[in-house]
Each structure stands twice: as structure tokens, then as C-alpha cells.
Amino acid sequence: MTIKVALAGAGAFGIKHLDGIKNIPDVEVISLISRDLDKTREVADKYGIQHVTTELADSLAIQELDAVILCTPTQMHASQTLACLEAGKHVQVEIPLCDVYKEGQAVLALQQQTGLVAMCGHTRRFNPSHQHVHQQIKAGAFNIQQMDVQTYFFRRTNMNALGQARSWTDHLLWHHAAHTVDLFAYQCGSTIIKANAVQGPIHPTLGLAMDMSIQLKAANGAICTLSLSFNNDGPLGTFFRYIGDSATYIARYDDLFTGKEEKIDVSQVAVSMNGIELQDREFFAAIREGREPNASIAQVLPCYQVLHDLEQQLA
């Protein structure tokens, strides 16, 4: 059977999902939702999507719709995920699940009540680079002593990855730190027991900290040092250094290197070299197999508890 999907948010990240889904058999995007109807039509025409709307409710009303992928502004994530579950649709929500912890708890409660597949786009779990490290850890060949992570963007104005003005404000703690906080606990296979944060000055118009530093410690003794900035005028993105007992790895998105910058071939780790496509494949496989997906709401919620605690600390 073909899984019929609606995608909400036709911006930079929504398009990455559409490109990934093209490579996945027996999945069809039948509805596209975004706030600018003309731009949405343009994207829909390019990907052969018939139904276009500015309202999620219009898509949820489509009888044959099975699942929804949400690539909408952070502030809408929890409420839209609840709406999808209430409508009886499986849902994958882009990171972050929420920016208020109790809203994330409400999503988990409803997911457990409905039994539907609900997962969050913690892409780092799926990048071949991080999967390779995960396999080494699982095999007992590598143990993390420290993760040293830099998340750097140049965002002194409110722009998206395509250089277009955003309708919402991004957040270092609730969005960008979520990737690393979740990945650290996932890779260590251990709960985060200690978390500290400091932040730099608040931006006068954006109203948020442009620089932040986070320290984490897992129950198994591993530590993580995370530096985040919207002020960095240099290479952009997130760069992970895994310092372990038997090796050092540097992960840059889907690519992996040794500590000496020698490239490691991770092309055989999974069926694709694209982390977003692999994330989507897991979502659809979990629907077909009636199982909990990797990065399910239940698995990622502890990360949002840590972010909540850090927010309290910073306040």
C-alpha cells in the first residue's frame, strides 16, 4: 500500500523532506500546507502535489491521508502535533518537539492514548556519520569520554537557511541545543544527570541570547561541551568531535573523519547518505510495521526535560 502524506511548511527544510521522499517507494505526498499560497503552489507544482492549502485542518480532513510531516515554526510544533494525533494521523514533527516542556508531555500522553506513530526529527540519530559511531559503541569498540560540539550560525537578522526573512524567531536552546542534548544521551546510552548553561547578551530586537555555552554529564561519566552562536561569521552548521577511549571522530552532518581529518567511508552504513531521507524512511517503516520509531516522542522527551531545566537555570 502507498502511504499518503501531507507536508506542512514549504520552506528550506520542507523541501529537504520532499527531496528525500522522492527516493522512498510507496510513499506519496498528496497535500502541501504553507502560509503563502502562491509560493506553496510553486513548490507543489515542482513536486507534482495536487492539494495546496494554508490551513493544516484542510489537509487533516482528507479521508485517505495517513500521515503528516510538520516543518512549521517551532512555536506551532506541539499544538499541530496534537491536532494530527487527534485527527487519527501518524505524525513526524521537525525538531524541536516543543519550546514549553509541559506541551511536550501533553503530546506524549496523547500519543500513548492513540497508539499512533509519532516521532521527532532528531536527524543526528540518522546521519550515517553518527550511525557509524553508534555502531562502534554498540559493538563495544568505542566509548565516549567527551563530546565537544560547536553549533554556529550567522543570524544577526531573522533569516532562514535560504536567506529569506522568517515569520518566527529561532532559538539556540530549544532548537539547536536539542540536537546535541538528545544525541549525547542517545550515543552514551545513558541519562543526563547534570546540566549547566551560561548565555551571552540578549539581542535588542530579536529578544534572545545570540551566544550560549552548555555542559552536560551522563550517568556513565561521559561529558559534553556545547558552544552555540548566532554571531559566528565563518563555517556554519554543527560540528561534533567524539573523544573516546579508542579513537577520535569528527562528524559534519552525514560525513565522518578521524581526529586527524582523514575521511572515513560511511557509504555502507545505511541505504542512503542523506540523514533526512533516512529519518523519513524510519517514520514510514514504523507506520508499516506498527512499531515505535527511533526518535519517538517517548525517546526524545527526556531531552526536553533537560532543556526546560536549563531554561530555569538561565532565568
Can you name the residues that pair with 70 across neighbouring β-strands?
Answer: 8, 93
Question: Is the pLDDT confidence value at 198 over 60?
Answer: yes
**Mean pLDDT, all residues of the chain:** 95
Distance CA 92, CA 145 (A): 32
pLDDT band at 158 (very low <50, low <70, confident <90, very high): low
Average pLDDT over residues 198-210: 88
Q: What are the grid coordinates assigned to 76, written together?
A: 506551532
pLDDT band at 160 (very low <50, low <70, confident <90, very high): low
213-248 pLDDT, tens per residue?
999 999 999 999 999 999 998 888 999 999 999 999
Question: Is the pLDDT confidence value at 162 over 60?
Answer: no
- Residue 111 has a pLDDT of 98
- Residue 296 has a pLDDT of 98
254-313 pLDDT, tens per residue?
999 999 999 999 999 999 999 999 999 999 999 999 999 999 999 999 999 999 999 999
Question: Is the pLDDT confidence value at 167 over 60?
Answer: no
Q: What are the grid coordinates assigned to 112, written together?
A: 500513548
Question: Is the pLDDT confidence value at 164 over 90?
Answer: no
Average pLDDT over residues 159-166: 58
Distance CA 14, CA 9 (A): 6
Average pLDDT over residues 163-177: 74
39-59 pLDDT, tens per residue?
999 999 999 999 999 999 999
Q: Please provide residue 274's backbone torsions phi and psi, each rounded to the nearest 5 degrees.
A: -110, 110
Q: What are the grid coordinates assigned to 197, written together?
A: 548553561
Which domains, ranges and CATH numbers included, belong to the chain? Answer: 3-122+276-296 (3.40.50.720), 124-272+304-314 (3.30.360.10)
- Residue 159 has a pLDDT of 61
DSSP state of 62: -
- Residue 170 has a pLDDT of 72
The share of the chain scoring above pLDDT 70, in percent, equals: 96
Can you name the residues that pair with 218 across neighbouring β-strands?
Answer: 192
Is 145 in contact with 220 (CB distance < 8 Å)? no
Distance CA 85, CA 113 (A): 10
Can you name the residues that pair with 248 across neighbouring β-strands?
Answer: 243
- Residue 166 has a pLDDT of 53
Q: What is the pTM of this model?
A: 0.94
